[in-house]
Amino acid sequence: MKGFKALRTYLVNLALRALIKRKLSTCLTPFDVRKAFEGFPPIAPRGVRFFDGAVGGVSGEWAQPKKGPADIGTILYVHGGGHVAMSPRTHRAITGAFAARGFSVFAPDYRLAPEYIFPAALSDLADAFCALREQKERPIFVAGDSSGGGLVVSLLLKLRDLKQEQPIAASVFSPWVDLAVTGDSATINRDRDPVEVPECLRMLAKAYIGQADPRDPLISPIYGDLTGLPPLQIFVGDTEILLDDAQRLARRARDALVTVDLQIYPNMPHAWPSLNAILPEGRKALDDAALFMKTSALKAIATQLRDPKPSSAPLDDIQTAKTGT
């Protein structure tokens, strides 16, 4: 069995090198990156319905289970794509997987660079999150992958600085949180990573930030004070060039007394939960993320019972998620 799993992972990584990394290695502009990802159809799980919507004036796509209520909570899911590419549709494998696990998921179609540079995307996410929070229908979580994972952490910092209520928890897959691209793994894992290319990341960073400082915490949250953030779960593969981003994010969050769950998977490609249809490791990561969010909601119940305060979601809704009634 171990031999079969190793062979499957090897073949998946080999295909990614041929289909994605080879293309990204030749990309000179953000538009080249967009073109490189064209033609990859969204892979959506069964038992999930997708429909267009808008939250806080931000258009996007909802994913919800076809049968049974999405009573665990709502996830604001931020898709990756290097800040310049992809959409909610391209990430249906993840948003649909969360919906199949009992969540209602809204993936905003936030503005992309280079047409819209920082802080356009972050402003869109803040508007969408605040609108979801004001609905107060159920617990709210945030999640994202790659550049979307970095935007998730930037969003948490922005909400904290604005003294806005935080989501109950956040889960990020292969987060890009250092747009200065200074991590050692950018060099050490340069050839081991089957997807990402350091030079491409640096080009994309310039397209996104314009003339801003790449070490601005709202651009690269790894350089910020992470005090006051909600429980944070971080997934990364040990061969990724973004391995250091994830590890440094975890260290800085723990130093700020944030609850952190760092999970490092061996030999997994960048943002592998998007391949959950063929990789059991992708399904496991999504299972773990769903469990992390549920557990964080239950801990929020306990905290609210000890020290009753206004919550971003009614207690009854969270208790319903606990009991399944």
Which sequence positions are flagged as catalytic? 146, 240, 270
- Whether omega for the bond prior to residue 114 falls within 30 degrees of 0, making it cis, is yes
Q: DSSP code of 212?
A: S
Q: Report whether 136 contacts 205 (CB < 8 A).
A: no
Which residues make Cβ contacts (< 8 Å) with residue 19, sequence separation at least 6? none
- CA distances to 119, 138, 149, 265 from 77, rounded to whole Å, are 18, 16, 9, 22
How long is the chain? 325
- 3-class secondary structure per residue, 232-245: EEEEEECCCCCHHH
- Whether omega for the bond prior to residue 280 falls within 30 degrees of 0, making it cis, is no
**At residue 143, what is the residue type?**
A
**Sheet strand arrangement including 48-55:** 48-55, 58-65, 103-108, 73-78, 140-145, 170-173, 232-237, 260-265
Q: d(Cα 112, Cα 120) in Å, to the nearest integer?
A: 8
Q: d(Cα 39, Cα 267) in Å, to the nearest integer?
A: 26
Q: Report whether 205 contacts 181 (CB < 8 A).
A: yes
